[in-house]
Copies of this chain bind each other. A is one copy, B any other.
């Protein structure tokens, strides 16, 4: 394999895989320090994942929540970005193999994030949609709109029901926010767009295997969110698991053991690490990489993992930290300090300690639940807090402004302006998707 052409500088080289929250934050703290940073990502942009569901439900354009990596780092003299897919880590030789060549490193940071976990339900995986990337969210938007166009064309009522019904699996923030956004579409947008269809017949089901929604929030907030969802016409089923989906019928068991007709199933019931070959010894069943309290791999002290991919069992977190942006950002911050210490051979490394800043979810206009420390808000004020936090977290002024305009517009008009099928979604047959899944391990980041 040929070497990747990167300038040879006389400073340690840190290779970072992944331009998510963790990787970006780490690099920000290493700005113009005496290290060379080579960043790999398979995309040339950073994705603000918490708002992917709004791209999927036509509330935002994809460009509003994506930000060019090169633009983030244009004033960083020590950062070299390469768009490529890392195929394998050869930690014994301090190098990585990628689709654009191989590269040596002094320090390696794996920040590859997470991917959807279907828990071995192959049929569900082959036939349902997920929402971890911009492309997947656009596919979901297109599929939803295409199915509504299709519903107009059929006289078969059962077929029409399948096309109009939505099943969302998983009651975490993603599932709850998506269900709420679909509820708003059902109440305010779709009846105007499709006067020929009886949109009241459209069913939205949110199915959660455990006993309640939003496990990271208090029981009160969780109950409040169910109330909000019901107001929007969403059917919530707790203690219910999806065990099969063949593309037309969802089979559940538990409290609601039944079959639901639907061609629109969105799986947000679980995530797992986005693994990478060559560090398999540290890999957990959750596909996360086990690290010590310095985010360091046990076997290789110059290899680190941060963010969703890192599995760091600690006293309060025996099964690892939650796979959320604040953990990734805090680990990025700390690792920057620790790497500087290692490079300068300057003192002991500082262990990671997660400061939980709270959690929040929005269900719809004026309907949100927010918990920050001991403070708990619901309703319109919580909704404004949610919007403020998300806009402030977006990278770049242009994106902030575009999101603000869209939200203001949607707020005033009860509208979603982006219901466009820019590129049609083509359902791939199960066998092909299966083989894509098998290739997935070779195409991480």
Instruction: Give the interface of A toward B (CB within 8 A).
Output: 4-5, 7, 43-45, 61-64, 66, 68, 70-71, 74, 80, 82-83, 100-101, 134-135, 138, 145-146, 149, 152-155, 192-194, 196, 396-399, 401-402, 405-406, 409, 415, 417-423
Contacts and interface: CB of A to CB of B under 8 A. Distances in A.
Given A402-B402, A409-B398, A63 B418 contact: yes
Contacts of A44: 145, 149, 419-421
B422 A192 contact: no
Contacts of A100: 153
Contacts of A419: 44, 68, 70-71
Nearest to A421: B44
Contacts of A145: 44
A422 B397 CA distance: 20
B74 A193 contact: yes
A399 B422 contact: no
Given A80-B196, A152-B5, A193-B71, A417 B398 contact: yes
A226 to B, nearest CB: 32
Contact of A417 (B135, B396, B405): B396
Contacts of A396: 417
From A66, A101, A194, name the one whose CB has the most chain B CB atoms within 10 angstroms.
A66
Given A153-B5, A401-B405, A409-B397, A68 B420 contact: yes
Contact of A70 (B4, B194, B402, B415): B194
Contact of A101 (B63, B80, B153): B153
Given A134-B422, A417-B399, A152 B61 contact: no
Nearest to A74: B192
Contact of A82 (B5, B62, B152, B418): B152
A199 to B, nearest CB: 13
A70 B193 contact: yes
19 contacts: A7-B196, A44-B149, A44-B419, A45-B420, A61-B64, A62-B420, A63-B422, A68-B193, A68-B417, A70-B192, A70-B194, A70-B419, A71-B417, A83-B146, A138-B422, A138-B423, A398-B406, A398-B415, A398-B417
A192 B69 CA distance: 12
Contacts of A80: 196
Nearest to A189: B71
B66 A420 contact: yes
Contacts of A193: 68, 70-71, 74
